[in-house]
Structure 1
Amino acid sequence: MMAEAKHFDEFDPVFGEAIVESDQGMAPASFNALANRSFLFYAHTIDSYRLEIVASDFLSHTFERVLTVSEFDDLRDEVGIGGSWNDFVHYFAASLSEGNVQLILGGVDDLHSESDAKHAKLIAHKSKGLPRISLSLGKLVNLSAKGVTVNIPLALFKALKSKQNDIVKGQEQLSRMEEMLSSERLIPVVWRSNHNEMLSILKAASGLYLHIEDQK
């Protein structure tokens, strides 16, 4: 029996907005300064064997986690989802795209402002009663943070463009199907019209024949 292939080739990018919360180690005043900000998250493949998860407010807080195939396998064991590798890949993606995603901010870095969280945890819960996914994220600073956040708008544009193309293709297929159905409905109508016309001709011919016979 062949070993199960483990890769991220079938993972599509996932975007979303996380609900911001704080852990017990963060002062209320510090958290309040961040609570009103919107944090977007972005999960995508770096290559076939690495998955990157980013969360950012596009201002001063960007967090990241890169999962290798081995680390993702460990995460599957922690979450406790059975089934195949692809089953868990799909569950992971669905938890981010369909479920409730929280970003738990924690800790205050004394080297920065008092409202500066130094670490975060991303928690994705697909639905009530199902196992949740929890990922610790590390903070990126300076050029590393800028490099990651610059990629997100472009990736989002490409994803939206791809969805738009799918919608256009779907509309074109629907139009072709409607044309086919319209043609199929038209054929019986044309046949009935020709059939009625043929009956009229036959009746007229029969009447003419009888009239000729009467004249003999």
Structure 2
Amino acid sequence: MSFEDMYPIFGRVIAEWSAPPPHTTPSAPFLFRVHGNGGDHSALRVIATDFHSNTFQAIKSRQQLEDLRDDIGIGGSWSEFLDYVTTSLKSGDVKLIMEGLSTSGGAGYAKLIAQKAKGMPRITFSLNKLVDGAAGEAMANLALELYKEFKDVQSSLIEEQESKYLLTKVVAAEQEKNVTLQKQLDMVLYSKKHKSQKINDRESDSTSVMGSQDSPDKHAAQDPSSRKGANRVVPAHRRSKVRGAVLNDPEDDGA
């Protein structure tokens, strides 16, 4: 792994004086940028500026970084060391300590100190003062790179918003489709339920009619033999003679 693969790191920090000179005014906020150094992919460049009278820079070669690694006692592979450096610079625990006085104004030099977490080794970069054209060029490069970073973030945000908008449209279309399908399903279920109810009503009416046709009263009313037997008249020759009738005496008939 080399610093060519490292995404530039930007940060903001309030500088502190190691020993504040007399009559110093409060320090302005500093911006810093850490990135690979041009064509030397194993080197690291650090720039910190307040865009006024204090602009500092450090370029660390691979060998200088190896020495730094030995000084702070970080083991493991080279890639693990680079990961530790970048993680420390991205953490919230980054300080800029200014020291000495410069004839051009401001501090003579500074140190950028980064720590991954409390109790872990500190990464310290000693920064030299830049003046005149070198300072102006460093400030211009940092400003342009910062603007580029802003545009990259803005483009990513716009793409994300567009993707979110398209996704919202897809979700809305699917919801509308689901509502339509649900209505169609409700209509089919209602139609089936209504048809089933009509069939049940017909079966119920048919059962009632059949029940009335099979009732005993109706059978009795419709049975002619039953009605005839109930109203039949006994023939005269089979009727019992009326009590008290006068019987004829055969002898009297012969007389």
Same fold by TM (over 0.5)?
Answer: yes
Residue equivalent to 1:17: 12
Q: What does residue range 93-104 of structure 1 map to in structure 2 within 5 Å?
A: 93-104=86-97
Distance 2:32 2:15 in 1: 11
TM value normalised by structure 1: 0.77
- Structure with higher RCO (Cα < 8 A, 6+ apart): 1
Residue equivalent to 1:124: 114
Residue 172 of structure 2 corresponds to residue 175 of structure 1: no
Shift of 1:122: 1.0
The question of whether the paired residues in 2 share the 8 Å contact of 1:41 and 1:55 is answered with: yes
Distance 2:139 2:42 in 1: 22
Shift of 1:68: 2.3
Instruction: Give unmatched runs, 5+ long, in structure 1.
Output: 1-5
Alignment CA distance shift 1:195-1:169 (3 Å): same
AA at the equivalent of 2:37 = I
Q: Name which of 66, 69, 73 aligns with 1:73.
A: 66
Alignment CA distance shift 1:88-1:184 (3 Å): farther
Shift of 1:134: 0.6
The question of whether the paired residues in 1 share the 8 Å contact of 2:14 and 2:28 is answered with: no
Residue equivalent to 1:41: 32
| SS of residue in 2 equivalent to 1:91 | helix
Alignment CA distance shift 1:187-1:76 (3 Å): farther
Residue 53 of structure 2 corresponds to residue 53 of structure 1: no
CA-atom RMSD in angstroms: 3.0
Residue equivalent to 1:91: 84
Larger radius of gyration: 2
| SS of residue in 2 equivalent to 1:117 | coil
Distance 2:157 2:45 in 1: 27
Distance 2:175 2:27 in 1: 58
If each structure's strand is expressed as a fraction of its own residues, which one has the higher value? Answer: 1
Residue equivalent to 2:181: 191
The question of whether the paired residues in 1 share the 8 Å contact of 2:3 and 2:44 is answered with: yes
Distance 1:130 1:185 in 2: 53
| SS of residue in 1 equivalent to 2:7 | coil
| SS of residue in 1 equivalent to 2:6 | coil
Distance 1:11 1:64 in 2: 18
Alignment CA distance shift 1:163-1:73 (3 Å): farther
Residue equivalent to 1:165: 155
TM value normalised by structure 2: 0.66
Alignment CA distance shift 1:79-1:179 (3 Å): farther
Q: Percent sequence identity over matched residues? A: 35
Q: Report the number of matched residues.
A: 203
Distance 1:77 1:86 in 2: 15
Residue equivalent to 2:213: none
Residue equivalent to 1:3: none
Instruction: Give unmatched runs, 5+ long, in structure 2.
Output: 207-255
Residue equivalent to 1:135: 125
Shift of 1:21: 2.0
| SS of residue in 1 equivalent to 2:5 | coil
AA at the equivalent of 1:148 = A
The question of whether the paired residues in 2 share the 8 Å contact of 1:19 and 1:101 is answered with: no
